[in-house]
Amino acid sequence: MLRRRPWLFALVLVACVGCDHATKQVAEQWLAGRDVLSLLGGFVQLQLVANPGAFLSLGAGLPEALRHFLLIGLVPLALALVTLLLWRAPGASRTQVLALGLVAGGGLANWLDRVFGGGAVTDFVSLGVGALRTGIFNVADVAIVAGLALLLRGAKSGAGGPTEPGSDHSSPRASTWGSP
């Protein structure tokens, strides 16, 4: 990884955690004890919920011990893996670093919320028209999805090698994630 890339990763990660925490605090202050707040003709709905599951409540019905193991125990390992993947990819592009920062930042934000929020994360936004709606989500979820979309877009287009001037695109390490 080039010298400035760790700073980009750290900046994106910290920004994700900070934005997620701030929006959750505002949501808790504005939405606690209220019914659904509809905006833009109902396209955006704000509703405060405690989600014991993962993204869009996946796994909410799992036994508590298994859910705790998966969502509190394994998440730090997954975040460490993302960081290690980045460190071992010296040819990572800015887009890849940004994408991994979004995934790690969103994951860390939800993990911190879960650890300090009694095992659940605060979700408060849904989008849709009429009965066709997304699940309720938060800013950390958006960061994770955006990061994954960037990674998939790069993989689909074959992008992902170094983008610095003078970089060697023919290097086998240039676009190989996790190579020693």
Give pLDDT, residue 162: 44
Q: Which of these is catalytic: 35, 113, 123, 168?
A: 123
In the annotation, is 123 catalytic? yes
Q: Evaluate whether residue 144 is within a structural domain.
A: yes
Whether 141 is catalytic: yes
Instruction: Say if 180 falls within a structural domain.
Output: no
Residue 22 within any structural domain of the chain = yes
Give start and end residues of each alpha helix (H) in the chain: 5-31, 64-68, 75-87, 94-116, 139-157
**For residue range 160-178, what is the model confidence (pLDDT) as tens digits?**
544 444 444 444 444 444 4
Residues of the chain with pLDDT under 50: 1-2, 161-180
Catalytic annotation, pick one of 20, 35, 141, 168: 141
91 belongs to a structural domain: yes
| Count of domains observed in the chain | 1
For residue 90, the enclosing domain spans 5-157
In a domain? residue 81:
yes
Residues 6+ apart with CB under 8 A from 39: 45, 46
Q: How many degrees, rounded to 5, is the angle at CA 119 between CA 114 and CA 120? A: 70
Instruction: State the pLDDT at residue 24.
Output: 98
Tell me, yes or no, whether 168 lies in a domain.
Answer: no
In a domain, 169, yes or no: no
